[in-house]
Structure 1
Amino acid sequence: MIQEIEYKQVGQFEKTKFEKIHNEIFPDSSTASKLVAHEIATLIKQKQEEGKPCVLGLATGSSPIKVYEELVSLHRSGELSFSNVVTFNLDEYYPMDTGHQQSYYHFMHQHLFDHIDINPENINIPDGTVPLEEMDQYCIDYEMKIKKYGGLDFQLLGIGRTGHIGFNEPGSHPNSGTRIITLDHITRTDASSDFNGLENVPKKAVTMGISTIMKSRRVLLLAWGHKKATVVKQTIEGEITSNIPASFLQEHKNTTIILDSEAASELTRIKTPWLVDQCIWKEQLKFKAVTWLSQELNKPVLKLTDKDYNDNGMSGLLAVEGSSYDLNIKIFNKLQHTITGWPGGKPNADDTNRPERALPAKKRVLIFSPHPDDDVISMGGTFLRLIDQGHDVHVAYQTSGNIAVTDDEALKFSEVANSVHPGKEGDTFKKVIAFLKSKNQGDIDIPEVRLIKGLIRRMESLGATRYFGLDDDKVHFLDLPFYETGRIRKNPLGEKDVALTADIIEKIKPHQIYAAGDLADPHGTHKVCLDAIFEAVNNLKSKSFMNDCWVWLYRGAWQEWDVSEIEMAVPLSPHEVSKKTNAILYHQSQKDRVMFQGEDSREFWLRARERNRNTAILYDKLGLADYEAIEAFKRYIF
């Protein structure tokens, strides 16, 4: 259902039964971002030929970063000049100094302005330092300056989970102009990881208004990832409402929403395409449709009737299959065959309908964990089962995870260590103690602090793996370089990251690789770590040992696979759930204060337990056995 990897600018979009804004779907954000950058570049060049300024409205946040990277690349290659470009940014936190690491002034210079030939006088970013009593006049002046240039030729947007564009939160009026607003709690929560805690996120912001955005001659809205899927559906298919400010774009005559496959996953034509048009009923789509219908009607698969199918747009499926009875049995059997108590394969058993191979009976297993706790949080029960069933299990922690350790935790350990072995002035622990006691918000940790924080997480990992009975020589710490910036925002994936990942795979020569396929983590580390694995696997696939290697993807703390995607479901007993919980609790630095919790404030052990229980309940409602908990996996074919 992915669209062709190209899109066209549109004038008036012909509205459909469900979708009211033109949108294009791409396999990934990188491909989409490059095409967006090239549209902007084409507009800039067109304006240059006409001898006119090109007036761009620009956004911040994670969504446009790759767009800016491509624009910088085009400039460095000599293909694009920004000499005629005038920019107006959408928003800025308030109060916010331009020198603050989280200011949008800093963001724009870091990602774009410092790397191109734009005239500094042509850069306009809302000022977060204007005294409150002068703010009304400042906002009027900002609007007048946009009008002086003839309005915005192009507006780039992201979208927040509240449906905000710019910082126009729910309740914003369609006639609103540039103004100061109060941020929604969800918006502040989503930003909390960047500010090292919700308490540090400003409560107000200065933003362009809905009216200003709607006057742009061209609007592109970017949305990436599973977390944006619900609000994207509401924006594109829902009613126009101030509760979803982005929905006002339905009335704009030249808007395109650019999506990756995960952000588009809730759209009707993607989630339930049989409700939109006639389908080609391939086996995977049949599986998706029947499991959806079972959940929608809250009926076990084997109890679905011809009428259920006909009433829900699936008469074409019955025409292909003949009857609901035969179809139900086929789908039930497929579901049943995903369930296995033998994630490494059951020895001396017919594996025709099992998720994993019976041979070799003892497999070499390599579990990749992006952070030092994802292994036990996401697949702790399966991890334990693989060890108990005699497989040669290894775990590779891809990053140090130091950024997720609080200063208080690092200070506590450093003071204990310094008390046991008092060193000279300038020694590591004294240096760490002195730095942490004088550290200001926004300061980047010195290398010694990052070392201590990384060691805290390393020792917690060893505690958990020893509890499972894994020898220390089976535990590997890769410390991938992309992560080691000391900041929330990491470096792009590099050759060294891929090489380290490939080295451990070649050393172990695994029959199974487990990797985090969860792309919804709040700070993007899982995505980079998964890309490192995919690239390493691709580089190694010509090696003979890779012919016997299967890759299984697990999901992390933020979401689970849709049941139609699950290819291996591993039931857990109450005892295994308890042991998994205990292993998670070895990660004490992450227990009482989850620094990067996303929208869920619960501790990881609670999230993991509920998610695994909910998967078991889902299988039960579909008509399968009632298990205590289930961990789910999807196979990646390389």
Structure 2
Amino acid sequence: MLSKYPLSDVEKAFLAESGVDKISTLIPYLTVDNFPKLGLMTACRFLEWAAANPEGVISLPTGKTPEFFIKWTQYLLENWDAKKGKEIREKYGLGSTKKPVLKDLTFVQIDEFYPISSKQHNSFYDYVNKFYLQGFGLSKEKAILINSDEIPLSGGKHFSEVFPDLKVDLSLRFRDPANELEKIQQESIYMIDQWCGDYEQRIRDLGGIGFFLGGIGPDGHIAFNTRGSHLYSVTRLTETNFETQAVAAGDLGGIEVSANRLVITIGLDTIVYNKDAVGIIIAAGEAKAGIVKDSLETKMNNVYPATVLQKLKNGRFYLTKGAAVKLTDSLDAYYEKGEWTFEKTERSVIELCKKLNKYGHRLKLSDLKADKYTRLIPGLSEDTVNQVMKSIETKLSKGLEKETDQVLLHTGPHHDDISLGILPHITNQLSEPTNEAHFSVLTSGFTAVTNTFVIDTLIYTRKLLDEGKIQMVNYEDFFQIGYSLKTDKDVYHYLTNVASENADARRRGLSHRVVRALVIIWSIKNKAQLRETINDVISILRNSYDGEKNPSKIQTLKGMIREFEEELVWGYFGVQVKNVHHLRLGFYTGDIFTEQPDKNRDVEPIVEMFRKVKPTKISLTLDPEGSGPDTHYKVLQATAAAVKKWGEEHDTSKLRIIGYRNVWFKFEPHEANVIVPVSLGDMSVMEDSFTNCYLSQVNASFPSYSHNGKFSTVAQRTWVGQLNDIQLLLGKNYFYLHERAKVRASHGLIFFRDMSVDEFLATARELEKSIEGML
């Protein structure tokens, strides 16, 4: 496939290293092992192009995806003639390339939210100025940028006057205005449309974009060209879809904001206007594998916007192996190369059931022989499907085993991760009195709490204080020591009011805990100072823009709200506050590019917790890199390092590690070795505890792009989907006629992986390779 396309020296070097020998997609792609390496490949290709096109036109992405592209570009420029720089250049096709000078390149901003102040740190305008114009030394004078503050509007007004609620009603393009403000808004929309047309023309007058680099959204969008965008679309003011709004919610401070914010984006035709352009889409992690497959294996189609790159001879996808895992080429290589394992047998048979929509017991040998993958099974016979069915039954049997005399330490990167991942499994463990359970959330999770939630909570708390309804502040020793006592009572009283359906009393319970948090964080000494602090925090938050990084004390307050929520969930099952551990690892800062975990700051607290708890089983999220929040992966790195260190001072030969997944990613049946039945009662408990305890999350301000609502619904759908897959193999009657009531009651399934320490560290080691060779 690639022989039909002009390959650069850099691309030849990375293709040779990848070992890929067959590419059959409609757009060529290159793969690397991990996320940082993806940044290296992209940086090398960019610098190769820039050296050959010193006055070219470039358009580069914003967000978290280009983190390592930015870092490697800067590193190579700074170390071009240093020993390591030379080694990298020689290895990856830049050996004879003269060091590029970037100052004469013309930068084109890809997109921007509208309206948004260019002064906000979560605007793409600010990002471009910080990381590209300043970071790469590009010319600001030559740059073509989207500055909302400077786009002309009716009467020379600012967008804050024309759109006072920051909402732009595009129906005014086609209908009569209802009042004077709408008339001004309509005139302004037409002026924005004219500005967008001029923006497009400025790009075309330069011959179009010469080097385009972009990420790809969950719906397949490139720039803000969402699913359904016209293949000949140009720069425009437009709405987005839910998937895009969900992804943008983190930048803008919640879906409530991103759902109402429009965008200005270059179009699909803008990207491919220059037929000689290098157009690259980068994607990392298995979470992107489905949309990557659809974008690369589908003929040009507006349902998959990235297919427009088929128009460019230099159109490419640069992928991590995880992002490429669902490509037909990758599946062929998985089954056709290397040793055949039973995992391959299991995977191919279950997939065949889905392809043919046939129950396992109805699969015939002829079906297996006709399939391109199952026909490769060694010793293929009438018994092959039975072997797979028995394997799955064994996994179900493990999920039914009663655990006794265990010290269980369940960990999660964020609050609610444990519950959403394996709550029904945990309830089985907690029903056994010989087990001791501990729960630990490793980050403070403050980014998941909106300013609005905190403001509303503090206003209500202030009201209760004024009415004398938070009586504990009147105790003589409250501000000396009383604030730190009776935290279990807080939890018990709150849950009592869940039982009695007293919503006001529950809010009061939250206010009690917030008062304790305020006293701790601000070292408050009396009621007057408490009220003053509440007013100060409300004022700071009201004067913050949505998505703005909060001061550290307010971050801590938000984190402590989440910590209370976690205590409430486990209080449902009688777990005491002392058994819920809050680690608040330091790498979690709320910055766009968070740090890698540090051995002393982030690993040692986990080791200390192991020393204190002495667990016999540890659960943790085992998400692949690039799938869901990067916090999951960084917590996994820190936990693996902690397990290894603890093993140096403690016998861990009998320690078991439980790897689970939740709403961001899921195991396939062949990847898991334990399957736990989930009843409707289990689902009700999870839904009830989530709704009543995770108060800051019920409105789903930062939802999954797969569902506009609570994460508990996403988890339930995952469990039901997993049951459907297994029912297709084993048959429905296996479940409703089973001898065990737990299986007969199952309407969902949880998959997880039970590992020894060595197995876990080997798995973590594979994932850890992605941070090797970093700058």
Using the size of structure 1 for normalisation, the TM-score is 0.85
Match of 1:239 in 2: 299
- Shift in CA distance, 430/203, structure 1 to aligned 2, threshold 3 Å: closer
The AA in structure 1 aligned to 2:311 is E
The Cα shift of 1:569 comes to 1.0
Match of 2:38 in 1: 32
Say which of 694, 700, 706 aligns to 1:594.
700
The AA in structure 2 aligned to 1:308 is D
The Cα shift of 1:100 comes to 2.5
Establish whether residue 312 from structure 1 lines up as the match of residue 316 from structure 2. no
| Whole-angstrom distance in 1 between the partners of 2:550 and 2:334 | 53
Match of 2:417 in 1: 374
Say which of 546, 553, 560 aligns to 2:659.
553
Instruction: Give ranges in structure 2 of 5+ residues lacking alignment.
Output: 1-9, 82-98, 153-188, 474-526, 736-742, 762-775
The Cα shift of 1:214 comes to 4.8
Query: What are the within-5 Å matches in structure 2 for residues 68-467 of structure 1?
Result: 68-77=70-79, 82-128=102-148, 129-131=150-152, 132-135=189-192, 138-139=195-196, 141-143=198-200, 145-146=202-203, 151-201=208-258, 202-215=261-274, 216-271=276-331, 281-314=340-373, 316-317=375-376, 320-323=378-381, 325-340=382-397, 362-389=405-432, 390-418=434-462, 419=465, 420=470, 421=473, 422-424=527-529, 427-467=532-572
The Cα shift of 1:222 comes to 0.7
Query: What are the within-5 Å matches in structure 2 for residues 620-635 of structure 1?
Result: 620-623=727-730, 625-626=734-735, 627=743, 628=746, 629-634=748-753, 635=755
| Whole-angstrom distance in 1 between the partners of 2:203 and 2:679 | 63
CA contact (8 A) 1:72 1:112 kept: no
Match of 1:353 in 2: none
Is 226-235 or 595-604 further displaced after alignment?
226-235
1:397-425 C-alpha deviation (Å, 9 max, x unpaired): 11122222233432344345441344237
Is 418-427 or 61-70 further displaced after alignment?
418-427
Instruction: Give ranges in structure 1 of 5+ residues lacking alignment.
Output: 1-5, 348-360
| Whole-angstrom distance in 2 between the partners of 1:180 and 1:577 | 43
CA contact (8 A) 1:126 1:207 kept: no
Match of 2:596 in 1: 493
The AA in structure 1 aligned to 2:448 is A
- Shift in CA distance, 229/315, structure 1 to aligned 2, threshold 3 Å: closer
Query: What are the within-5 Å matches in structure 2 for residues 40-59 of structure 1?
Result: 40-47=46-53, 52-59=54-61
The Cα shift of 1:45 comes to 4.0
SS of equivalent residue, structure 2 residue 65? coil
SS of equivalent residue, structure 2 residue 587? helix
| Whole-angstrom distance in 1 between the partners of 2:76 and 2:337 | 42
1:301-346 C-alpha deviation (Å, 9 max, x unpaired): 333211111232246335x2241x2211221121112124568x76
The Cα shift of 1:91 comes to 2.1
CA contact (8 A) 1:95 1:205 kept: no
The Cα shift of 1:293 comes to 0.9
1:120-167 C-alpha deviation (Å, 9 max, x unpaired): 324332343423545566455545554565554422121223333222
- Shift in CA distance, 210/72, structure 1 to aligned 2, threshold 3 Å: same
The Cα shift of 1:391 comes to 3.0
SS of equivalent residue, structure 2 residue 670? helix
Query: What are the within-5 Å matches in structure 2 for residues 8-19 of structure 1?
Result: 8=12, 19=25
| Whole-angstrom distance in 1 between the partners of 2:298 and 2:273 | 18
- Shift in CA distance, 244/578, structure 1 to aligned 2, threshold 3 Å: closer
1:187-221 C-alpha deviation (Å, 9 max, x unpaired): 23331232123342322313144244352532221
- Shift in CA distance, 260/550, structure 1 to aligned 2, threshold 3 Å: farther
The AA in structure 2 aligned to 1:612 is W
The AA in structure 2 aligned to 1:336 is E
The Cα shift of 1:174 comes to 4.1
Establish whether residue 585 from structure 1 lines up as the match of residue 691 from structure 2. yes
CA RMSD of aligned residues (A): 3.3
The Cα shift of 1:459 comes to 1.6
Establish whether residue 482 from structure 1 lines up as the match of residue 605 from structure 2. no
Say which of 9, 21, 36 aligns to 2:27.
21
- Shift in CA distance, 84/265, structure 1 to aligned 2, threshold 3 Å: same
More helix by share: 2
Match of 1:351 in 2: none
Name the larger-Rg structure: 2
CA contact (8 A) 1:179 1:209 kept: no
CA contact (8 A) 1:410 1:449 kept: no
Match of 2:760 in 1: 637
1:483-531 C-alpha deviation (Å, 9 max, x unpaired): 233x6x3622231223333433454443322111245775433233223
- Shift in CA distance, 342/248, structure 1 to aligned 2, threshold 3 Å: closer
Match of 1:563 in 2: 669
CA contact (8 A) 2:120 2:548 kept: no
1:81-108 C-alpha deviation (Å, 9 max, x unpaired): 5334332222223333321333211122
The Cα shift of 1:77 comes to 4.3
Establish whether residue 527 from structure 1 lines up as the match of residue 547 from structure 2. no
CA contact (8 A) 1:409 1:589 kept: no
Match of 1:604 in 2: 711
| Whole-angstrom distance in 1 between the partners of 2:457 and 2:547 | 22
Taking every aligned residue pair, what percent have the same amino acid on both sides? 22
- Shift in CA distance, 241/416, structure 1 to aligned 2, threshold 3 Å: closer
- Shift in CA distance, 228/274, structure 1 to aligned 2, threshold 3 Å: closer
SS of equivalent residue, structure 1 residue 597? coil
CA contact (8 A) 2:235 2:264 kept: no
Is 171-180 or 403-412 further displaced after alignment?
171-180
| Whole-angstrom distance in 2 between the partners of 1:269 and 1:307 | 25
